[in-house]
Structure 1
């Protein structure tokens, strides 16, 4: 495996893991504005955990969702996928740190370290897939409600939390792909000669050749006449 590619993949995975941690508590997963006079203008925004409102004076109030079972199915699924993304990212970071060639944690068995690094790449891929599915599913419901003329409730738009999630998923997939492809290329070993004599054998053969050459030079053909 290429050590530089391992470091790049680790950096991408770490940044994506941090961005997932930023996206989960972000309040602006979907945003809507109620326009009126200057006093009554307010902004509504929600995430996976609570719903908030801010008026023109800067006062904001937040209310957590009262019941898990009363929530929509896509919100529950998005919660589960984002939590799974954090777990997969943690496993991916640990496995990548152990499997890197510059790390001393896995010993000197580079074949085993390469497999561990490949496992870390698989965890990063799972992290990216969970994040992308979560934020994309959430965004799909936002757009579906927004463009539905018969929807009676409040219509929202996509917030910054979803963009952070998309960026995190992209980085995680890129980091996992780098580790997986580097492990695939690293398994191709060079094939050498089927038999290579040992050092002692080479020394004995070369010594016998030198003895034969010295004897031939000492006793010429005229010596046997």
Structure 2
């Protein structure tokens, strides 16, 4: 029962992390223009992995998609690939978790379900690592430009999507480790049970064999007493 509860906790953590990670892809604010040192702000610039936008003082936004994928900066292309890989790994991890968990009726034998659960945990760990790498790479580019005194273009700050992505990555990695821990705990318990069962079976068999053995001395005494009883029976 404890092992099943551990798997349920891991499943809730990983699914929550996967949902947060997936929600960062369509989120607008990956980076927002900085107002540091600006007295009058007439427009706010912000962008994500797919488009760049500007919002004027009246609240009207004008967005433009990136015109060419090949003309993009390298870090944006890498972040796109990592985030899409993270979402795909998390999706397959959810399916494997539903098949391998003990509270479900599919997946085959206990050993097969344990292997599937462990594979699901590895999927979630890789998903969290991909998402964390993408968010960290994007944030590193923003901070390096912000603190560069020679960078004279518009400077940006970290957007809300990066913090959501980091939170989802931590949940995915934590839930994946919980899945793997629950599987190793179940394997150790099964090995201990099988060892104790084999020991008790051997000891029981030894006791029964020992009980069935009759010493030769007792047999000779029983035979002598029976012959003595036969002589005196007709006196």
TM-score range, shorter chain: 0.7 to 0.9
How many residue pairs get matched?
208
Secondary structure of the structure 2 residue equivalent to 1:153? coil
Contact in 2 for aligned 1:33/1:41 (Cα 8 Å) = no
Contact in 2 for aligned 1:31/1:159 (Cα 8 Å) = yes
CA distance in 1, matches of 2:18, 2:4: 21
Structure showing the higher helix proportion among its residues: 2
Pair 1:70 & 2:57 matched: no
Matched residue, 2:139: 139
Matched residue, 1:215: none
CA distance in 2, matches of 1:118, 1:33: 44
Shift of 1:186: 2.1
Pair 1:48 & 2:49 matched: yes
Matched residue, 1:182: 182
Pair 1:161 & 2:166 matched: no
CA distance in 2, matches of 1:75, 1:56: 28
Matched residue, 1:123: 123
Shift of 1:195: 7.8
CA distance in 2, matches of 1:41, 1:33: 12
Distance of aligned partners of 1:222 and 1:118 in 2 relative to their CA distance in 1, 3 Å threshold = same
CA distance in 1, matches of 2:22, 2:93: 15
Matched residue, 2:217: none
Contact in 1 for aligned 2:97/2:120 (Cα 8 Å) = yes
Matched residue, 1:196: 201
Secondary structure of the structure 1 residue equivalent to 2:151? coil
Matched residue, 1:216: none
Runs (4 or more) in structure 1 with deviation over 4 Å come to: 33-37, 221-224
Shift of 1:180: 1.2
Contact in 2 for aligned 1:33/1:42 (Cα 8 Å) = no
Contact in 1 for aligned 2:86/2:131 (Cα 8 Å) = yes
CA distance in 2, matches of 1:152, 1:69: 25
Shift of 1:152: 2.6
Shift of 1:185: 2.4
Q: CA RMSD in A?
A: 2.5
Please, which runs of 5 or more residues in structure 2 have no aligned partner? Answer: 213-221, 229-235
Secondary structure of the structure 2 residue equivalent to 1:196? helix
Pair 1:92 & 2:97 matched: no
1:173-209, CA deviations, whole angstroms, 9 ceiling, x for partnerless residues? Answer: 0001111122222222111335838xxx9xxx79x97
Secondary structure of the structure 2 residue equivalent to 1:2? helix
